[in-house]
Amino acid sequence: MAMIDTFRFSDVEYESRLARTRAAMEGAGLDTLIVSDPSNMAWLTGYDGWSFYVHQAVVIGPVGAPVWFGREQDAQGALRTCYMADPDIIGYPDYFVQNPDMHPMDYLAARLTDRGWHRGRIGVEMDNYWFSAEGYLALCKGLPEPPVSANGLVNWQRGVKSEAELDRMRKAARIVERMHARIADRIEPGLRKCDLVAEIYDASLRYDEEWGFGGDYPAIVPLLPSGTDAAAPHLT
């Protein structure tokens, strides 16, 4: 397949996730599902790119593999990280980006029509940071029926972890233990926060020859409020 040989899951793992998602779709009366949450996109396909500042999605249709949809310049990243083949990677032209007269979801609606996936009940992650009101209106304009909410449908399938996922979680735990040990070793009164954060990033990312793996960028930055700032939960 198109996926590069890196720290990814197997095709069998992704196919199992797809089957579970399709079963949940059937239970919800959905024919097609449009997934916009980057973590859900990664879980379904392996896509790993810092491209969620523009409109993108993974589409689960009635049959076949998932379809990655995103900015054309990011399609190469999808080919290198997703388990699907080229025909299931769809990029939209750059003139759709931040264009008040056309929307990327206009393009998606047209591509769904090309595949015959525009009919039936289509679900979207309505209450999600990465799916906008303008995007929803564009889909309503381009599809025969307005999409319906499928909030949390994919997230619930992620709740029970596979053996492959548990293995990755154990590896991640080793990295977290290394981070905490580094903090305990270096923290002291008067230490600059920026220096402690540098140590945290180093411990979280550096490759370990004995383990045979290293880390990746975290889902959130280190939060180090101190003094009266500790009363505020999300100060950096």
Convert the pLDDT of each residue in 105-160 to its tens digit.
999 999 999 999 999 999 999 999 999 999 999 999 999 999 999 999 999 999 99
Distance between CA 20 and CA 141 in Å, rounded?
30
| Residue 206 placed within a domain | yes
Domain that holds residue 139: 11-157
Q: What is the CATH number of the domain that holds 139?
A: 3.40.350.10
> How many domains does one find in the chain?
2
Task: Note whether 129 and 217 are same-domain residues.
Answer: no
Which two three-digit tokens encode residue 195? 């220096």
- Is there a contact between 49 and 75 (Cβ–Cβ < 8 Å)? no
- Do residue 127 and residue 190 come from a single domain? no
Q: How far apart are CA 221 and CA 198, in angstroms?
A: 11
**Residue 5 forms part of a structural domain:** no
pTM: 0.93
Q: In 10 A of CB 5, how many CB atoms?
A: 5
- Alpha carbon separation from 72 to 9, 43, 101, 203 (Å, rounded): 25, 21, 19, 35
124 and 93 belong to one structural domain:
yes
